[in-house]
Amino acid sequence: MYLLSLRLMVTVLGLVVALPVQADITRLVVEHRLPIGSNGYEELSGRAYGEVNPRHPLNGIITDLELTPRNSQGSVEYVSTFTILKPVDMSQASGVLPYVVPNRGRVNLRSGGFFEDARRQGQVLVASGWQADLAPVEGLETLEVPVARHADGSTITGPVLARFVDMPPDTMTLPIVRGRMVGTADPASLDTSLATLTRRASEGGVVIPIHSDAWAFADCGSRVFPGLPDPRKVCVAGGFDPGYLYELVYTAKDPKVHGIGFAATRDLVAYLRHGRGNDPEGDHILQRKITATVSQGNSQSGTFLRSFIHLGFNQDEAGRIVFDGSNPHIAARLLAMNVRFAAPSGAAGMYEPGSDGIVWWSSYIDEARSLGKGSLLGRCMSTGTCSKIVETFGSAEFYNLRASPMLVGTGARFDIPLPSNVRRYYFPGVRHGGGQGGFDTTLDRDDCCELLPNPNPSRYAMRALRTALIEWVVKGTQPPPSQYPRLDRGELSSPTRLTLGFPTIPGVPLPDGVLVPLFEYDYGKEFDYQDLSGVITIQPPPVRQVLPTLVPTVDADGNETSGVASVLHQVPLGTYTGWNTIRQGFYKGEIRRNAGGYIPFARTRAERLVKGDPRPSLEERYGSHENYVAHVRVAAERLVKGRYLLQDDAERLINEAEASLVLK
């Protein structure tokens, strides 16, 4: 890695400004400055060069940091990309900095209405790289961190797991993908006798070993087996059989210190907010105008925020709070990043860590896993550095991402209360991230799934709740009351048709067992389950037990009844589910990850009787197009009154309903 100079500086398009010595952000280089239209905003992008002090107590939790090469000051160096959208004239800035956590390096700060809302309010938008296993591709926010080595300089190795399924027929070679990424952990040796490759006909089927002479770390695309040696590919003599699931376990080398990504985010935001020591105001990239910071992360990047808070990174090295507010969205787990040989792009697949530790905001005793008492806010409460938190998620997170223990713990016997600084908002009947919206009664089927794609949106509620979070942070205005399913109200049950009350609809799969189970794994004695940190020494990890999980109950239509229901959910055109089933392939009939489903109502009573559909038709429900629009107007006004929908979005939805073809 580039050796940072002892002289700390900010470089802005050739301008170099000295900064006092301090081990965090040591140099900020703005490589591009672009105007954004004619609205008085500009985009800055570049690289932040930083250092992490392994001796600082806040950094001691970073796995393998003590085994990482250090510079002459005894610090560990890293380089992170960043993007800033800000007013050209910072005197026009409101002082609010929303930080958007990239998802697998991807973030578009200019997208949709998000930037327009920020621009109208004079906010400064920021994103930066935190994930170290991404290739440095233009357009991605990335992070460079060093490799850990033993104290004597020798290579660190350890077991890793890769799984392969649903490959095309006649496939000879596959890339070694872990957590959706290639090249996250190269093998220490290409000798296949030191690794194992197996296959099975089903997830729980008999494991069949493949002899070490019958496969290779190689590319057989241009050369017949055993192919051209390649540490990032695997080739099987005779090719892969798409009817099987393949599992590869090998010894990897040179683990990157991924946990530095938490410190890199902490230190950049702290610098952008506070500057450094006594540096002159004019020398600071944001002229020290920032007075409040709010973070937002979706899915993988939402799990980043949960772990960021849990591991104590919301306190900077000067003891100050980093994010005043935080919105982890559609993120029901922790991020398995502070782990040796981490694969942080994972998405709750089999054997992947994420749901194995503390996932609740209040203190709870995890008796089922014998992990004792803990809370995501334990560290920040002890230092007075907890954010105001708005947690948002939807139906798909129960079925796909094991959201149940967030609400009822691993025992699933009672509701875990929320602390006063946390609000929780649940979006019923939505897919992961919400659907496209609209009032279209005809949708095209996706090839992946048995049910139609779910159009039920969550973005309108998200916009209102983001606004509420900022007002909570800046003005102290209390956000609307939490809305989510509770066990004590009978709104959660086991995932079967009978307990949920899901209707029997001809040709429609039932939800019985259609969810990702909550397994307790044995990752070995060097793994810290509560913090989701440390070293995994057993691959694949044995399953100790299957823990109980609950999902939201439904009405006679099959629609969920709790949470912040969208206008479309309140005035439905069909049944909206947070689950869908796979049409074909190895996992046929099982849950399709992150996809929701839509089962439209019949148009008329006669049509539904012919189909044997027990749910009333659109005609029976609403009678006419005009009456349907009237129902939409009432639902929208109710959401606006509750502050779960902004007025301009309400007007937009009413206009869309009027222009729709519902009962025309």
**Structural domain contains residue 248:** yes
pLDDT score at 476: 98
Mark whether 99 and 221 lie in a shared domain. no
Return the closest-CA partner of residue 289 out of 312, 314, 272: 272
**In the numeric block, which tokens belong to residue 533?**
């940190």
Sequence-distant (6+) residues with CB within 8 A of 376 are 306, 309, 310, 358, 359, 360, 361
DSSP 149: B
Q: What is the pLDDT of residue 482?
A: 99
Domain edge (last residue) among 290, 308, 342: 290
Q: Tell me: the pLDDT tens digits for 62-84? A: 999 999 999 999 999 999 999 99
Give the pLDDT confidence score for residue 9 in this predicted structure.
42
pLDDT over 80 at 356, yes or no: yes
19 & 77 share domain: yes
Determine, yes or no, domain membership for 616: yes
Q: Does one domain contain both 511 and 619? A: yes
Q: Which residues pair with 528 in a beta bridge?
A: 533
Residue 130 sits in the same domain as residue 164:
no
Whether the CB-CB separation of 587 and 165 falls below 8 Å is answered with: yes
- Grouping H, G, I as helix, E, B as strand and the rest as coil, residue 466 is helix
Q: How far is 592 from 337, CA to CA, in rounded Å? A: 25
**Residue 443 banded pLDDT, cuts 50, 70, 90:** confident
Q: For residues 495 and 485, what is the distance between their CA atoms, to the nearest angstrom?
A: 14
* pLDDT attached to residue 181: 80
Tally of CA atoms within 13 A in the half-sphere of 41 that contains its CB:
21
Domain end point (choices 274, 290, 306)? 290
For the cut 60, the answer to whether the pLDDT of residue 474 exceeds it is: yes
Q: pLDDT band for position 58 (50/70/90)?
A: very high
Q: Which residues pair with 643 in a beta bridge?
A: none
Residue 279 domain flag? yes
Q: What is the largest CA-CA distance in the chain?
A: 81
Q: pLDDT per residue over 7-24, tens digit each?
A: 334 444 443 333 334 458
What is the average per-residue pLDDT within 260-267? 98
- pLDDT per position as a tens digit, 576-632: 999 999 999 999 999 999 999 999 999 999 999 999 999 999 999 999 999 999 999
The tens digit of pLDDT for each residue in 42-51 reads 999 999 999 9
Closest by CA position to 231, among listed 218, 249, 222: 218
295 part of a folded domain: no
| Mean pLDDT score of the chain | 94
Assign 411 a pLDDT band (cuts: 50, 70, 90).
very high
Q: Is residue 307 part of a domain?
A: no
Mean of the pLDDT values across residues 495-500? 93
Looking at the structure, tell me whether residues 164 and 139 fall in a common domain. Answer: no
pLDDT at 381: 98
The residue assigned the tokens 């109502």 is 601
On whether residue 309 sits in a domain, the answer given is no
Distance CA 416, CA 496 (A): 23
Residue 386 and residue 485 share a domain:
yes
How many domains are there within the chain?
3
Q: Residue 304 falls within a domain, yes or no? A: no
Range of the domain at 434: 331-535+557-664
- State residue 179's pLDDT score: 80
Mean predicted confidence (pLDDT) in 250-255: 98
Nearest to 545 by CA among 339, 342, 367, 348: 367
Cis peptide bond upstream of 540, omega within 30: yes
What's the whole-model pTM score? 0.94
Instruction: Provide the pLDDT for residue 609.
Output: 98
* Predicted local confidence at residue 442, as pLDDT: 86
Mean pLDDT in residue range 248-274 = 97
Is there a single domain that holds both residue 239 and residue 348?
no
Residues 109 and 182 in one domain: no
pLDDT for the residue numbered 79: 98
The Cα–Cα gap between 102 and 80 comes to 12
pLDDT single digits (tens) 600-616: 999 999 999 999 999 99
Does the pLDDT of residue 357 top 50, yes or no?
yes
Residues 366, 246 share a domain: no
Q: At what angle do helices 260-274 and 300-310 cross, to 10 degrees?
A: 80
How confident is the model over 485-510, as a mean pLDDT?
96
Report the alpha-carbon distance of residue 428 to residue 181 in Å, rounded.
Answer: 31
Q: Distance between CA atoms of 550 and 602, rounded to whole angstroms?
A: 30
Return the number of other C-beta atoms located less than 10 Å from residue 569's C-beta.
22
496 and 615 part of one domain: yes
Residue 595 lies in a domain: yes
116 and 193 fall within a common domain: no
Quote the pLDDT of residue 15. Answer: 37
For residue 280, CA distances in Å to 78, 89, 184 come to 25, 17, 42
Query: Which whole number is the average pLDDT over 217-245?
Result: 96
Average pLDDT over residues 236-262: 98
343 and 210 belong to one structural domain: no
pLDDT for residue 565 is more than 70: yes
Rounded Cα distance, 597 and 449, in Å: 8
Q: What are the φ and ψ backbone dihedral angles of 208, each rounded to 5 degrees?
A: -110, 115
Provide the pLDDT for residue 22. Answer: 46
